[in-house]
Amino acid sequence: MVFTWFSSILEMVTPQLLGFPFAMLITALIVYLNLIRENYEIPYNRMVISLFFLSFFSLLVKIINLFI
């Protein structure tokens, strides 16, 4: 998840749309939800959830900047 967050920050500073952070974010979200569904205990769960929101927010900012 840290790598996903880092790549979404990298996406914000590049002038063109890379695209792979979107795929990584969706993949990490699917894996996380499957682990929750199977009752795995995830260490640092609050940090993982906050990194999901930060990654999503930074990618949302990139999309808004592209269309403005």
Which helix or strand (DSSP H or E) is residue 41 part of?
none
Report if residue 41 sits inside a domain. yes
Q: Does any domain span residue 12?
A: no
Is 5 a domain residue? no
Q: How many domains does the chain have?
A: 1
Tens of pLDDT, residue by residue, the chain (68 residues): 788 888 888 888 877 767 777 888 888 889 999 999 999 998 899 999 998 898 888 888 888 888 87
Quick check: is 50 in a domain?
Answer: yes
DSSP 17: -
Nearest to 8 by CA among 66, 68, 67, 52: 52
Structural domain for 57, as ranges: 17-67
> Model's pTM, two decimal places?
0.74
* Class of residue 4 by CB neighbours under 10 A (exposed 0-12, middle 13-18, buried 19+): buried
